[in-house]
Structure 1
Amino acid sequence: MLLSDWPKNLVKDLARRRTVIVIGSGVSRHSVGADGSTRPPLWKEFLRDAVDEVQVGTDCSHIAAAIDQGDLLHACEWLKKRFDEDWNPYLRRRFVDPQFSPAQIHRQIALLDSRIVFSLNFDDIYESISREINETSQFVKIYNDPDVCEFLRGYARYIVKVHGSLASPASLVFTQEEYARARVSNSLFYDAFDAALRSHTFLFIGCGYGDPDLNLLLENQAFQNDPGTSHPHFFLTSDPISSDLQNSLRRNRNLKTLLYEAVDENHSGLVAAIESLGEAVTEERVELLENRNW
């Protein structure tokens, strides 16, 4: 389906702040650095560039092949070993040094005023604009914080860094080994994530459908419920996804696909789509105020 009218259940849940918004690298991609042209890389782009960095004098053909085949976690793990002590400086050079500024898409997402936002990104681009809009009512948590589960019942607004933050490179979850270790060492967070999936509607913006953590959690829950009757989560994309894949995402992960028109290479259509969603949510909140049907 192409977006014209947003699903009523999604609008109602956003209006009541019963939605978790999940933002990925496709959201950060809208930002521009201080030079006026550099944009944060998408994951595959970042890995391919990293291969170019270490390729001189070494055989990286198997790493390039893994990236082409979508085995990104192993590719990243092998690249990290190749970079050794230069890995963290390389990450900061790509994601921090360009001094990326928030884009209109970040503002539109922040204006949706969701109580919980999960960020799959290492950068803090969204946090800066959200802090400006929501002022002191916002807390940023990392998946390994001892009090990370506060987002489930707290009254404030929370941004949860699902894969860690570049402010603390040791916290990053970026490779096959790190994913496996995080699931064991930080099971409390994953339990809270699972609880949020059961109690909230998730809206994925700028994300791929291949994130290992998300796949595991979504599939576990989907098979515990009937995806034909349970309240779905929503996956926003402009990619030409076949009807077979859309049906599989709905059946296996309880994800309902919402298609927007990209319009141009910078996906200005996504900004317009989120803006129209914000208008629908505002109208719903006005109605809630009038009828007091909280």
Structure 2
Amino acid sequence: MIKWPEQLVEDVARRRAIAFLGAGVSKNSTGKGLRRPPNWSEFLETALKKCPGPTAHIKKLIKDQDYLTACEIIKQRLDEDFNSIISQEFVDPHYTHAQIHRDIFKLDLRLVATQNFDRIYDNFAQSESKGTTHVKSYSDEDISIIARGKTHHIIKVHGSVEQPAKMIFTRKEYTEARYKHGPFYALMDALALTQTFLFLGCSISDPDIRLMLERHTHMHPYARPHYIVMPRNALHEDVRESTRKNLNLKILTYDPKLHHQELADSIAALTSLVETERDAIAAERRW
């Protein structure tokens, strides 16, 4: 089980934290035929099978984890068929929420950000909150409204399957978004300074996230760390040290066996710790 730092528990209890959800969270869900949502590499492998022409160089890009370039080539090759594959992989299986989504919702954080295109958590949170949880995308002109107030928001950092044209999936799309939607990235910079980020089911390879954390780390070298939950042995100790030094990310590890069951159990334990801390804050009036 993950040993949750006391400072993180307090930040979550005070709703001064943002949960970032990655593909590892969606992996807990199942759909028709017990299918599970694909991660980035799995989606590219599926799409690659439908690509015309030579593909050896694309396979190498995927193997080397250069997913942005691989996706750009595949999308160009498939043209209008690319959106159909997105629907087949992320929408048609009708994925249902898992216990981990329920436990994340029970943390009652005002802001939850997700790098996922699927709407698994979005649909659950909106249903569970009776429509009072709002979904905002990086491309929304009024995205800044999430910064204040009491409304609960889900932030679609890379867009959603609902709007395939606005999904950030390729190298070109990452670059364009950074320049066309500067206010969103400025907002994320501000949140990195005022909130504690908790990355769940995410990798540290996302270029936008890395840029944001690197900038934050070197501009504010004495800021408290953010946190990322990762499978045990996912990174060499040297890489973990570099991650802490350059991204100010404290890595919390778990055993990934049985479809990351320990992660789900640990999130459930976190909800209990947070509820206890909130009761203590209320009793002692430590607002």
Q: Which stretches of structure 1, 4 residues or more, deviate above 2 A after TM superposition?
A: 132-137
Partner residue of 2:247?
253
Distance 1:141 1:163 in 2: 11
> Following TM superposition, by how much is the alpha carbon of 1:25 offset from its aligned partner in structure 2, in angstroms?
0.8
Shift of 1:50: 1.4
Output the CA distance in 2 between the equivalents of 1:136 and 1:154: 17
Residue type of the alignment partner of 1:157:
H
* Cα offsets for 1:81-128 (capped at 9, x unmatched): 011011111100110000100111111111111110111011110012
Structure 2 counterparts to residues 251-290 of structure 1, below 5 A: 251-264=245-258, 266-290=259-283
1:291 is matched with which residue: 269, 284, 287? 284
Q: Are 1:242 and 2:236 matched, yes or no?
A: yes
Which runs of structure 2 are paired with 1:1-294 in the superposition (5 Å)? 3=2, 5-35=3-33, 37-54=34-51, 58-226=53-221, 229-240=222-233, 241-264=235-258, 266-294=259-287
Count residues in correspondence: 286
| Identity value in percent | 40
Provide the rounded CA distance (Å) in 1 between the counterparts of 2:24 and 2:144: 26
Measured in 2, the distance between the counterparts of 1:186 and 1:28 equals 26
Q: What CA deviation, in whole Å up to 9, does each residue of 1:255-281 have, x standing for no partner?
A: 0000012232x1111110100111110
In structure 1, C-alpha distance between the alignment counterparts of 2:90 and 2:204, rounded to whole Å? 22
Distance 1:210 1:131 in 2: 29
Q: TM-score, normalised by structure 2?
A: 0.97
In structure 1, stretches of 5+ residues that fail to align are: none
Aligned-partner Cα distance in 2 for 1:198–1:133: 30
Residues in 2 aligned to 1:19 and 1:238: alpha-carbon distance in whole angstroms? 22
Unaligned 5+ runs, structure 2 = none
Deviations 1:115-153 (A, max 9, x none): 101110111100121123323331100100011111111
1:223 is paired with a residue of what secondary structure?
Answer: helix
What SS does structure 1 have at the residue aligned with 2:65?
coil
Residues 173 and 179 of structure 1 are in contact (CA less than 8 Å); yes or no, is this contact kept in structure 2?
A: yes
Any idea what the Cα deviations from partners look like across 1:50-74, whole Å, max 9, x if unmatched?
112215xx11111111111111100
**Residue 239 (structure 1) shift:** 4.0
The 8 Å contact of residues 111 and 133 in structure 1, kept in 2 or not, is answered as: no
- 8 Å Cα contact 1:22/1:120 also seen in 2: yes
